[in-house]
Amino acid sequence: MTVSTSFGDYTLHSVIAEGGMGQVFLASRSGVEGFRKHVALKCLHPHLTHDLQFVSMFIDEAKLAAQLHHPNIVQVYDLGAVQGRYFIAMEYIDGVDLGTVLREFTQRGERLPVALAIGIIIELLYGLHYAHSKKDTAGAPLHLVHRDISPQNVLLSREGLIKLTDFGIAKVASRSIRTATGLLRGRLEYMAPEQANAQTVDFRADLFAAGALLYELLSGQLMRQNGNDTALLDEVRAGQLPPFDIVPQVFVPMLTRALAFAPEDRFADAASMAEALAVAQPEARLRTHEAVARLLQTVPLPVLKAIHEQSARPVATDTSHTPAARPVAPPKRWAFPFLPVLLLVLAGLTIAVAIRVFAPVQSPVQEPMAASLPLEVSAVSPTPPAIAATGYLSVNARPWARVMIDGKLTGRSTPIHQLPLVAGPHHIKLISPRAGQDIELTVEIEAGKTLTKVFTFK
């Protein structure tokens, strides 16, 4: 039985992740007319609420992440405190982290498809490029660095979205965060040499980590596998790299550049690295979201459960600063008399069949056909041939963009040539990961004709 707990304006349902600073809950917030929105609620551990440094870091994370609005970055909605326990309400991603996917493939003795691996890294890089380029309200660069790029911080949703999360140890030029113990923060397996050597760190440290993750996706193993922490730290500081003979050779130049010891020898920015990968693997841009969605159909989702289902752990874990948990009763089976209702349904079906059999036969023109037709064709007269009601759309964008038509992702990116569409109005949305912008418009498709549209994002 799932246990739910009230937490301010939110209801906590289950624990979906734990970290050194706090827990992440699957939560919901209710509104008028039955409105309810699911969020991921990151709560600071109760024993840390009295540590001013941790509280300050937690608040800084929320303020920082709330400024980031990009398709490849998890959105932050709210910051608050309940009975002294601070929380961040974030976008809930119904899926798994990339680390879970990699473990599943390792157990199978398989590797991710190359095009899918490159597609994931490209999406990640565009999210990073947006964050690295972010400016404050006065127009001054924030010089934001994530500093913890790893599979656990790359989330994949059931819909096929790729999202970067956890800017909790990010660093802004205006404020340097150090731990009380002075220990390095981040995962050594993906850490750049300058970060391990406690030198000045900028966005190029994230490019190094992205290169280490790229190596892992292509090779099926960690770039650094030394189990001894001290030896591993020495290896990172020295910039030692494994041979690249177990990855496809076409990507060796990109790996060599991303993993260069000197930051100035790496890519100029994350977008440049993404473009280099796209040139080496052109099909990586195509249907990445569709491929991720299909992938998650084969990967178990161990802890992400729907409300009122059995969760991995009850929410009562580590809630010493919250009101006592109250149980949610499971839904009752057959809360209405089953047999009488069944008899009524059977009687209704019998009457409907009798009416159908004995009613006068209508002409084919009067027979209602729209309900049996596909949704997009139901408003079109079935009399003309299908080709007479079909037109074509060609669309391009600079930089490239994903294309949505009538609210649905096409699984394709620009350029698109002569995409067949039913004649009539269609809502088009272009999503540019690189520009971090969207363009929306309504177009009129004419039967038998091609409409061409070209867009340039600012």
CA distance linking residue 191 with residue 186, whole number of Å: 7
Maximum distance among all alpha carbons in the chain? 88
Options 3.40.50.2300, 3.40.50.300, 3.10.20.740, 3.30.200.20; CATH of 1-94+304-324? 3.30.200.20
Q: State residue 300's pLDDT score.
A: 62
Tokens read off for 425: 């109005």
Buried b (16+ CB within 10 A) or exposed e, 307-338: beeebeebbbebbebbeebeeeeeeeeeeeee
| CATH no., domain 96-172+184-303 | 1.10.510.10
Q: At what angle do helices 204-219 and 114-132 cross, to 10 degrees?
A: 170
Tokens read off for 358: 């004995």
Residues of the chain with CATH 2.60.40: 381-456
Of 118-132, 245-259, 379-393, give the lowest mean pLDDT range. 379-393
Inter-residue contact 400 to 434 (CB < 8 Å): yes
User: What confidence tens digit (pLDDT) does each residue in 276-304 have?
Assistant: 999 999 887 778 889 999 888 877 654 44
Query: Which residue in this structure is represented by tokens 């969207």?
Result: 438
Q: What is the pTM of this model?
A: 0.65
Tokens read off for 278: 């796209």
Burial of 137 (0-12, 13-18, 19+ CB in 10 A): exposed
Residue 348 pLDDT class (50, 70, 90 cuts): low
Inter-residue contact 419 to 394 (CB < 8 Å): yes
Of 53-57, 162-166, 264-268, give the lowest mean pLDDT range. 53-57
**Which position among 60, 94, 136, 148 bears the catalytic label?**
148
Residues of the chain with CATH 3.30.200.20: 1-94+304-324
Cα angle for residues 270, 117, 172 (degrees, 5° grid): 30
Residues 327-341 have a mean pLDDT of: 39
Q: At what angle do helices 114-132 and 288-296 cross, to 10 degrees?
A: 110
Give the 3-state secondary structure of the chain: CCEEEEECCEEEEEEEEECCCEEEEEEEEECHHHCEEEEEEEEECHHHCCCHHHHHHHHHHHHHHCCCCCCCECCEEEEEEECCEEEEEEECCCEEEHHHHHHHHHHHCCCCCHHHHHHHHHHHHHHHHHHHCCECCCCCECCCECCCCCHHHEEEECCCCEEECCCCCCEECCECCCCCCCCCCCCHHHCCHHHHCCCCCCCHHHHHHHHHHHHHHHHCCCCCCCCCHHHHHHHHHHCCCCCCCCCCHHHHHHHHHHCCCCHHHCCCCHHHHHHHHHHHCHHHHCCHHHHHHHHHCCCCCCCCCCCCCCCCCECCCCCCCCCCCEECCCCCCCCCCHHHHHHHHHHHHHHHHHHHHHCCCCCCCCCCCHHHCCHHHCCCCCCCCHHHHEEEEEEEEECCCEEEECCEEEEEECCEEEEEEECEEEEEEEEECCCCEEEEEEEEECCCCEEEEEEECC
Residue 61 pLDDT class (50, 70, 90 cuts): confident
Q: State residue 387's pLDDT score.
A: 38
Residues of the chain with CATH 1.10.510.10: 96-172+184-303
Distances (CA, A) of 378 to 260, 375, 397, 405, 447: 58, 5, 31, 17, 16
Does residue 269 carry a catalytic annotation?
Answer: no
Q: State residue 132's pLDDT score.
A: 95
CA distance linking residue 403 with residue 451, whole number of Å: 15
How many C-alpha atoms does 238 have within 13 Å on its Cβ side?
10
Residues 127-150 have a mean pLDDT of: 91
Q: State residue 360's pLDDT score.
A: 43
**Is it the case that residue 329 has pLDDT exceeding 70?**
no
Phi and psi at residue 194, in whole multiples of 5°? -65, -30
**Is it the case that residue 15 has pLDDT exceeding 60?**
yes
| CATH no., domain 381-456 | 2.60.40
